[in-house]
Amino acid sequence: MPRTNDENVNDSSQLLRETQLENSDLNKEVARLKRALADATNGGISPSQSLPGSPRDQDDGELGEDPPPPRNSGSNARKRRAAVVDPESEDEPPRKRTQPGANADGDDGDGDGDDGEPTIPRPVAHPKGPPTSDQVATWGARYVTTCCPWLVHDDVISTPLDPAWDKSQRYRKVDGEFVDEELIQGQLRDLLQVVPAQYHEYRPTKDFISSFKAGMQRRRQQYSKRCRHEDKEQIFGYEWAAKMRTQESRREHFAAMIGYKSANDTSKARYSALAVPLLHSSGSEKYKFSDAFTHRRLKTVFVGLLCGGRAAEIFYEGGKYTLTGREIQSLDRVTYTKPNHIATSSVLARWALSEDPMFTRFGGVTGIDWLADWNEYMLVIESALANDDKRNRTARASNRTIRKLFRSWDLDVFGSKNSPLGGDGEGNAAEREEELEDALKQAEDDDEAME
């Protein structure tokens, strides 16, 4: 039977009433969910807090685990994002990984700007509160590996950043001595690269300072034990190790090798920082820039510090060792050679063969200021790296020499033919052309001198 107009009107009214009832039920459900959320918030959980033991999302601060969805919430309920934690870096937020090799813009891939100036991370609020003592100690140990074995002064940790500081003055000398204020600002910037930005505000606290220093001491002890005791046979060879057993024996066999100069009419007995046979592959007793830091034992010490005695022994014999992920090299993400690594390896190698019983800044027997020698090595290396004046033949030659040094260390230690600080070497046409040009000019100068 056909529907009448009255039936159509009645059906439309009924449909309207049903729609209104559905909307009312939906509004009630929304209100109930809002009350439940408010009750949970008032019950002690605020957006800036987390339950004990609950992981937090490091991106937006949400709870790390998905809460159960409310009943009848429908398919439109927004899902909460699970936390993503870097398994290798539970003590700091995930950072961008870098591979050995220079970027197209000349950056070394280490968070530095194009001009090589480290970019200091900007402090940000962190939901976890202060770091644990274990976290801070880990950063202290990492500072020794990636930066320097000692601080100029404990105040480095809490010193305010001087925005007007000039990095080119870091190793400036006055009357033959390094300027502490310049060194402190340089070390502070290194420290700010090691400590995650969200924890910078805790640097002045007593707990932070003591834990950071404890971590540094732990790593120094680890290094000294490897070089002097536990792994000396693998790092220095059995013949040298046999002569390292006593203080007297080390003085007898290695004093001259690590730079000891006897007294004469013009100077008293002393240890030289650079006129050191152990630094030169030729064993030269005089400092030669072109040969400095090339002794294979220095690289072997570097491998021993990063990976242990067995790896050092394999390396010295020309073999290849396999990383397990538990070595200092893996944990501290050391992927290529930096000036700090060469300086630290040189200091550790000399100290291990010295009379000094403890690896402290000031040698207990030799009187060597090991940190001053470390700074001396950094001055030589970084000055040559920065001295790339194309108009100066000597500067160009020094820069090429130091780049070759880094290529050699990266190739031997890391198996990398592309060195972030050394460049691509033989594949660099500009470097070959520059070297040939300097050689021709040198030949012309020699001819003129003979005439």
In the chain, DSSP finds a helix count (H) and a strand count (E) of 14, 4
Of 321 and 16, the one with more pLDDT:
321
Output phi, psi for 85, to 5 deg. -120, 130
Instruction: Look up tokens 């030949």; give the residue.
Output: 443
Percent of the chain with pLDDT over 70: 66
The model's confidence at residue 413, banded by pLDDT at 50, 70 and 90, is very high
Range 152-168 average pLDDT: 96
Closest CA to 357 of 224, 268, 217: 224
**What is the pLDDT confidence band of residue 392, given thresholds at 50, 70 and 90?**
confident
Mean pLDDT is lowest, of 139-153, 293-307, 325-339, 384-398, for: 384-398
49-108 pLDDT per residue, tens: 332 333 333 333 333 333 344 444 444 443 333 333 333 333 444 443 333 333 333 344
| Mean predicted confidence (pLDDT) in 162-189 | 97
Residues 378 and 370 sit within 8 Å (Cβ to Cβ): no
Q: Is the pLDDT of residue 229 over 60?
A: yes
Residue ranges of E strands in 54-176:
173-174
Q: What is the DSSP letter of 58?
A: T
| Mean pLDDT over the full length of the chain | 79
Average pLDDT over residues 334-355: 98
- Above pLDDT 90, what percent of the chain? 61
Reported for 312-321, long-range contacts at CB under 8 A and 24+ positions apart, including other chains, are 312/231, 312/234, 312/235, 313/233, 313/234, 313/235, 315/412, 315/413, 316/235, 316/237, 320/415
Q: Which pLDDT score is estimated for 79?
A: 39
CA distance 382 to 96: 25
Q: Provide the pairing of β-strand 260-261 with 177-178.
A: unpaired
Question: What's the whole-number mean pLDDT along residues 149-176?
Answer: 96
Lowest mean pLDDT across 17-26, 104-113, 237-246, 360-369: 104-113
pLDDT (average), residues 117-142: 79
pLDDT band at 112 (very low <50, low <70, confident <90, very high): very low
- Dihedral sign from CA coordinates of 109, 113, 116, 121: negative
> Residues 379, 191, 297, CA angle at the centre, nearest 5°?
50
Tokens linked to 434: 């520059």
Candidates 224, 195, 218, 167; CA nearest to 344 is 224
Nearest to 334, CA basis, from 113, 143, 81: 143
How far is C-alpha 143 from the geometric centre of its chain's CA atoms?
7
Instruction: List the structure tokens of 27.
Output: 């509004």
Q: What pLDDT, in 10s, does the model give residues 287-329?
A: 999 999 999 999 999 999 999 999 999 999 999 999 999 999 9
Residue 303: the pLDDT is: 98
Listing DSSP states for 235-291 in one string gives HH-HHHHHTTSSHHHHHHHHTTTTTEE---SS---EE-SSS-GGGBTT--SS--GGG
What's the pLDDT score for residue 384?
A: 95
The mean per-residue pLDDT over the stretch 34-59 comes to 43
Tell whether the torsion through CA atoms of 221, 226, 229 and 232 is positive or negative: negative
